[in-house]
């Protein structure tokens, strides 16, 4: 799992996290078990993924598939990106 700078800076600049999971929800759970300080960045108060967080599995945004229930195949690449707004 590849993490953006906004997350990796909170966990000693670790920008990769390896995990084994069947779906995105389980992968995020594994990440947050190790790095609970990322929970408020990823999830809102209703425990939904924040609107500005985009998660990709092998280059496909999970918003275009099954959401957090998107299946993860062996050796899949998961990328978390935080959208940046500007003015």
CATH class as words, domain 5-82: alpha beta
- What are phi and psi for residue 80, nearest 5 degrees? -110, 125
> Where along the chain do its domains lie?
5-82
- Threshold 0.95, pTM exceeds: no
Is residue 87 very low, low, confident or very high in pLDDT (cuts 50, 70, 90)?
Answer: low
Among the listed residues 78, 84, 83, the one whose alpha carbon sits nearest the alpha carbon of residue 16: 78
pLDDT digits (tens, 9 = 90+) for 14-63: 999 999 999 999 999 999 999 999 999 999 999 999 999 999 999 999 99
Q: In this structure, are residues 80 and 54 in contact, taking their beta carbons and an 8 Å threshold?
A: yes
């Amino acid at each position: 799992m590849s993490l953006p700078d906004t997350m990796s800076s909170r966990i000693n600049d670790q920008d990769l996290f390896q995990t084994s999971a069947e779906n995105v929800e389980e992968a995020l759970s594994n990440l947050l078990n190790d790095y609970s300080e990322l929970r408020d960045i990823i999830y809102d108060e209703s425990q939904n993924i924040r609107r500005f967080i985009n998660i990709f599995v092998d280059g496909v945004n999970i918003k275009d598939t099954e959401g957090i229930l998107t299946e993860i195949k062996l050796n899949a690449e998961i990328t978390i990106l935080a959208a940046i707004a500007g003015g």
